[in-house]
Structure 1
């Protein structure tokens, strides 16, 4: 872990810390490129070694992933006292899960948020993983004002 430039209190996480945070979570946002348009989807995921595994149904997300473009999964969290937050982004390539060459994580059948059959198991293998952690300022500094006057716009 190192401090970010310009005196910021943001800590840059090393790869081991990023994986530790990913293993502690199971909900993230998957970013894919659909043609020339970025799309973002919430996903429930599992960690298997140094890969990320999730289920999906046929549709935009699966089509974009199978086109061979890079994808990213972002996962955020906070400590139990809500005094510190973290964010990890894993970028890499997705492929269908191959039973003959990969071990299925124990929790790969996690219940999805959205109803329906999610019968495609996808593996995202990160080629780049980055993370940040920082202390939360007083809540009065980041809640919007109660009066949405011209000063707010």
Structure 2
């Protein structure tokens, strides 16, 4: 990326575009608060209507989700030529999936958890906010070598 904000060509995505990217994706990262600490988990998911649905097993992730605190979810990707990237963030409330499980098969019949083991808990994230952005990938010569940003931390 360019080091100058004025050179940025970031495009803010409309919610409809965000949902299209999510529907075309299959893995993202779920951020939860576990006690006082943030935790991030990779999850494969499916879009049902305007909610995200995934399976999970008992453990840290499920305990954090059952607390009902807001979560954040991010998925991102790039085009086939690696010239453009996108990122979508969903902030919302987790809860048990309250829809018909048959809808999940219709949404994506081949979607199954990647990690082995029983994942009997269906969780949905109901969005309070969805945001996204897309931008062109700058040539490596524009961002390498890295700049010393240590002065920004003092």
**Residue aligned with 2:65, SS:** helix
TM-score normalised to structure 2 length:
0.83
Q: Match of 2:60? A: 60
Q: Match of 1:43? A: 43
Assess, with a 3 A threshold, how the Cα gap between structure 1 residues 72 and 108 changes in structure 2: closer, same or farther.
Answer: farther
**Residue aligned with 1:105, SS:** helix
Structure 2, unpaired ranges of 5+ = none
Q: Match of 1:134? A: 135
The superposition leaves residues 41-71 of structure 1 with CA deviations (integer Å, 9 ceiling, x where unpaired) of: 0000000000000000000101101101001
1:138 Cα deviation after fit: 1.2
Assess, with a 3 A threshold, how the Cα gap between structure 1 residues 57 and 143 changes in structure 2: closer, same or farther.
Answer: farther
The superposition leaves residues 114-141 of structure 1 with CA deviations (integer Å, 9 ceiling, x where unpaired) of: 1111110000011100001000011344
**Residue aligned with 1:104, SS:** helix
Moved over 3 A (4+): 139-145
**Residue aligned with 2:130, SS:** strand
Verify the 8 A CA contact 1:46 1:108 in the aligned structure 2.
no
State the number of aligned residues: 143
**Residue aligned with 2:74, SS:** strand
Distance 1:94 1:127 in 2: 11
1:36 Cα deviation after fit: 1.0
Give the 5 Å matches for 1:14-33: 14-33=14-33
The superposition leaves residues 77-131 of structure 1 with CA deviations (integer Å, 9 ceiling, x where unpaired) of: 111111000000000001011246x863222772222111111000001110000
Distance 1:144 1:59 in 2: 42
**Residue aligned with 2:104, SS:** coil
Distance 2:132 2:87 in 1: 5
Q: Match of 1:72? A: 72
Q: Match of 2:85? A: 85
Q: Of Structure 1 and Structure 2, which has the larger fraction of its residues in helix?
A: 2
Q: Match of 1:105? A: 104
Greater RCO (CA < 8 Å, at least 6 residues apart): 2
